[in-house]
A and B are shown apart, each in its own frame.
Chain A
């Protein structure tokens, strides 16, 4: 995986920051070059770029998005953006949930986690949206289990929750053109999986870690 930031990526990051007027708050940790998985709520195409652009450039070069294969490989432009510009790790999100509980799904799921784990390697970080799809932005949807399996597989990697606010109004699902309102991004306290922690308990904890970072309407 390349560690050089593509010029288009830098350009898009600058544009996304300008459009979203994002204010970044590191509430639970500081920017750090250690290996991390940033996981956040998902309501807009801008989510990844805004989160990524909030990281210092030396960290940015080693931080990659996880992109849903079915969506991001659907057109040449999307594929170019995901693969060449942002060096995304592709994830086949359809298979595991469709063939749930079957042996095959188990196998495929394990294979995917291995791929992600390989992508992390020794120095890379990932950005993951555990809801798996963009929501309306009103509340954080249920998390899929990928985060759990990844955490189990790589307990050495810090899991950093993040909350992106108001981006659903800036570029909602189904719209192509953005409205430049202001937004917030809050990074929370890193999470680690506990010994023998059940899957549901961990996912619930991770979900709460993201949802509790909400600032709008909470005061």
Chain B
């Protein structure tokens, strides 16, 4: 993927993102120094926390592109690891889950990324939803603790699906053979991440500016209909404007961006509901100071696999929907 550096479109795209990050860091710094109320400080702190997490993701992404597809796998693997680490810290597991968790971290997760590396698509597709999900419940049962058994099994299954399986579809994009798009598919990964993250933050910003009607106040007080419409519309517009970096026509790019935005919304809404359910206050203190990777990738978790399959079925020759 060193080729990406010699790809002028990628360089433009990448440079644009870098510029945007610098700009938002700069603006964030200014806003922080002149906030007036507590409410505005909370908002600015939230935005600055996003920018900080993006720098981290940006660094990972840059290293991934420089190192090529294997680098992307390793580095998205690290992202999966960090996300699952936050998730498992938050989810109350029991002593009897210990070995199953060990397997999840040190066997299932690396195996999933390894399968992408050797391009064994069929096994990559079923590894976690079929094999791991069958493996997890009996491996907990064998430890002999029946307390909250179904909950514990489902929590681990869901965590590994979201943090590992879903996210692994992002670097898997680099392995798709799209005609006329060979060697420059790093742009596709960047496109997915940028549209998704912009949608996430623009929904937040629009919500803060004009948000009134909450979508599900019990799940997330910051998600409003105005924010959703404004954020999705502006991020879709951005995605459409980026069509030149993708194999899509402008119309296709609009449709794909819209899909990424809506799935991104679904992903972060789901994760908010989970946090409310497990009582984030308990273990939130542990995760707060550590990156908050889970908060950033929650919107990517539903978008990545569907984006991957959409591209695979419609833009890679020889794939059928059946």
Contacts and interface: CB of A to CB of B under 8 A. Distances in A.
B285 interface: yes
A219 B281 CA distance: 7
Nearest to A175: B98
A172 interface: yes
A21 B95 CA distance: 19
Interface in B269-322: 281-287, 289-290
Residue among B85, B89, B284 with the most chain A CB within 10 A? B89
A182 B287 contact: yes
10 contacts: A21-B85, A23-B286, A172-B98, A175-B98, A177-B99, A182-B85, A182-B89, A184-B286, A216-B283, A217-B281
Contact of B290 (A23, A215, A219): A23
B86 A182 contact: yes
Contacts of A181: 85, 88-89
A190 interface: no
Contacts of A165: 286
A179 B286 contact: no
Contact of A177 (B102, B289, B290): B102
Contacts of A219: 281, 284-285
A166 interface: yes
B282 A172 contact: no
B101 interface: yes
Nearest to A23: B289
Contacts of B102: 177-179
B105 A179 contact: yes
Nearest to A219: B281
Contacts of B290: 21, 23, 182
Contacts of B284: 219
Interface in A180-216: 180-184, 215-216
B286 A169 contact: no
Interface residues of A, number: 20
B93 interface: yes
Given A21-B85, A166-B89, A169-B93, A183 B286 contact: yes
Contacts of A169: 93, 98
Contacts of B81: 180
A184 B287 CA distance: 10
A6 B226 CA distance: 60
Provide the main secondary structure of the chain A interface: loop
Interface residues of B, number: 22
A30 to B, nearest CB: 19
Contacts of B286: 23, 165-166, 182-184, 216
Contacts of B282: 216-217
Interface in B99-141: 99, 101-102, 105-106
A25 to B, nearest CB: 9
Top 9 A-B pairs, shortest CB-CB distance: A179-B101, A181-B89, A182-B89, A182-B286, A217-B282, A23-B289, A177-B102, A219-B281, A215-B285
Contacts of A217: 281-282
A79 B92 CA distance: 35
Given A166-B89, A169-B93, A217-B282, A179 B287 contact: no
A81 B95 CA distance: 27
B180 to A, nearest CB: 42
Nearest to A136: B95
B275 to A, nearest CB: 14
A175 B102 CA distance: 11
A157 to B, nearest CB: 31
A136 B98 CA distance: 13
A20 to B, nearest CB: 10
A183 B290 CA distance: 10
Interface in B66-103: 81, 85-86, 88-89, 93, 95, 98-99, 101-102
A23 B286 CA distance: 8
A219 B284 CA distance: 10
A177 to B, nearest CB: 5
A136 to B, nearest CB: 8
A175 B98 CA distance: 8
A63 B89 CA distance: 30
B285 A180 contact: no
A216 B285 contact: yes
Nearest to A179: B101
Nearest to A178: B102
B90 to A, nearest CB: 9
Nearest to A165: B286
Nearest to A173: B95
A180 B289 contact: no
B149 to A, nearest CB: 18
A179 B285 contact: no
Given A179-B101, A181-B85, A217-B282, 17 more contacts: A21-B85, A21-B290, A23-B286, A166-B89, A166-B283, A166-B286, A172-B95, A172-B98, A175-B99, A177-B99, A179-B88, A179-B98, A181-B88, A184-B286, A215-B285, A216-B282, A216-B285
